[in-house]
Structure 1
Amino acid sequence: MKASDLEVTPLAALAFAVFAASTSAILVRWSTAPSSVAAFYRVLFTTAIVAPIALMRYREEFARLSGRDLGFAVVAGVALAVHFAAWFESLNHTSVAASVTLVQTQPIFVALGAALVLGEYVNREAVIGIAIAIVGAAAMSFGGAGEAPVSDATMYGNALALLGAITVAGYVLAGRSIRQRVSLFPYVTVVYTACALTLFVLVGAQGHDYVAYPTREWLLFLGMAVGPGVFGHTVVNWVLKHLESVVVSVTWLGEPVGATLLALFLLAEVPDAVTVVGGCVVLAGIYVTTIERERRQS
């Protein structure tokens, strides 16, 4: 059965993936494990879910992967590992709203990379949509979601989140390029494997224990894999074959809005008026960008 038979459009799938990804910050906050450990097991468990499907149904395609595509998929996996490590750690130093918002400044880097590398140029209307969304994201960051005033610790957390934005932009651009030629499951299996191996090395380098964690932590790791991993990132990688990288990256800005709402109900982090207004502006920017794409496609 085809996706069209189920009436699943790429934009609908992307909206679902953004919602699934919004749960990540909450799960990370609930976890008491080191950030790199949580990131490692999230990716490892996600790999364990998708790899059997890839090996059973796409074995011949694995054998046909070009060295270039394989190499760029590995680079994408390393970039994703740096993204996770930096972003997860940032959540220990700044608010959920600020961290998730700053990491989602990635549309700026995606738009630049898409124009320079992929030849996907952004028109005036899309630029307006990106600008609106970024302004809203900045407003949410300044809101601070009820956290303490800016300090050296929060600045460090914000800097880590920005590093996460740059590296995830590279991951999105690689996915947009390679997914035109490689099926979803072979691609994500290579990417997630490279990502997990990178995080495995990082955990060891930081001197963290690999296994001495209570049952609650293992359940949180599994939740990170199933929700943000399978239903978040993996669905986004499916969407990247059908939608321009800029549309995907701007729509991903909905994640801080969802995460802030979840933080309100689950972490008692009450957003202030600036954060609320910023979230509305983010949604307006997403609307402008996606509507512009629909207009061009009609």
Structure 2
Amino acid sequence: MKAYIALIIGALSISTSAIFVKFTDAPSAVIAFYRLFFAVVFMTPLFIVKHIRETKQMNKKDWAFAVLSGTLLAFHFILWFESLRYTSVASSVVLVTLQPIFAFVGGFFFFKEKMTMSEWVSALLAILGSVIISWGDFRVSGEALYGDMLALIACAMVTGYWLVGQHLRKQFSLITYTYIVYGIASLVLSVYVSLFRYSFLSYNANDWWCFVLLAVIPTLFGHSLFNWAMKWVNAAMVSMAILFEPIGAIILAYIWLDEKVYLSQGIGSFFIIVGIGAYILGKHIKNNKKIVAFQKRT
């Protein structure tokens, strides 16, 4: 029961991310930088005490993967936060949730993975949902459609981050992996902020509170609870819980930002959440069948 409560709290925590971004007028790259920078600062004592020795095991290939993963994460945050300047929380968060479908497409085209008919149907449902949302936003304004495109590119970036990061995550602890990747992403973002000559310091108290809260609630508190819950529930259940992020974000945006949800967004969100939910559930059933078949052979 504690694990399921943790999943609910974790889903609510990550739902606040888009809201905090909307509450600050700082440049997207600056928000992204401080979100990860403060997360790294808060993780430093634990990393030094318990995990720093793991870095000695990293070779050149591991560091190359870490740099690529961190760079993809940095640009994911820049693009996603920027999308929130142009489109609604509902459209942006739901479209970013398409990560499993981007992974599905990547696995099919780059790794020649075979997909079942149910997986194709699930993917098509999610894609149909994104088309409905984009079409509805296009009718609202060209800026909203531009924000949708940024959100989709951000989704592709974070999918790459997960795919590249798998190599490291299998070899190192969660703290070591996240600390190094977040640190590299922070460094990339600091260079980006410097190149575009954004200020690092000239922000009001509200902005600084948003930076810290982004680091604590959705980054450390939200994702940490998901990882803690994985000791007792399977990865499919955690993935399904993450699908509640757009629902929570839409509700919070309605309460705190007075953002209305258009019919096209509601219909599109429904198709995306059902499509991704069915896809994750199908993958879980497929993996269980493989495990059972392997156990029978052995």
Q: Which residue, out of 243, 267, 281, partners 2:257?
A: 267
- The structure with the largest helix share of the pair is 2
Q: Which residue, out of 186, 195, 212, partners 1:205?
A: 195
- Tell me what 2:60 maps to: 67
Q: Which residue, out of 33, 37, 42, partners 1:44?
A: 37
- Tell me what 2:181 maps to: 191
1:19–1:256 Cα change, 3 Å? same
What is the RMSD computed on CA atoms of the aligned residues? 3.1
Q: Does 1:166 align with 2:161?
A: no
Shift of 1:68: 1.4
How many percent identity over aligned positions?
A: 34
- Tell me what 2:169 maps to: 179
Q: 3-state DSSP class of the match of 2:141?
A: coil
- Tell me what 1:25 maps to: 18
Q: What is the alpha-carbon distance in structure 1 between the residues aligned to residue 238 and residue 104 of structure 2? A: 11
Shift of 1:222: 0.8
Shift of 1:165: 1.5
Shift of 1:31: 0.7
* TM-score calculated relative to the size of structure 2: 0.82
- Tell me what 2:141 maps to: 150
Contact 1:47 1:192 in 2 (8 A): yes
1:44–1:118 Cα change, 3 Å? farther
1:43–1:207 Cα change, 3 Å? same
1:140–1:258 Cα change, 3 Å? farther
1:140–1:23 Cα change, 3 Å? farther
1:215–1:81 Cα change, 3 Å? same
1:5-36, Cα deviation, whole Å (9 max, x unpaired): x8638xx8666544322211111001111111
Q: Which runs of 5+ in 1 are unaligned?
A: 1-5
Q: Which runs of 5+ in 2 are unaligned?
A: 290-298
Contact 2:98 2:276 in 1 (8 A): no
- Tell me what 1:221 maps to: 211
Contact 1:54 1:189 in 2 (8 A): yes
Shift of 1:87: 1.2
Q: What is the alpha-carbon distance in structure 1 between the residues aligned to residue 108 and residue 228 of structure 2? A: 21
Q: Does 1:8 align with 2:25?
A: no
1:69–1:217 Cα change, 3 Å? same
* TM-score calculated relative to the size of structure 1: 0.82
1:110-129, Cα deviation, whole Å (9 max, x unpaired): 12334566786543333333
Shift of 1:292: 2.4
Contact 2:101 2:126 in 1 (8 A): no
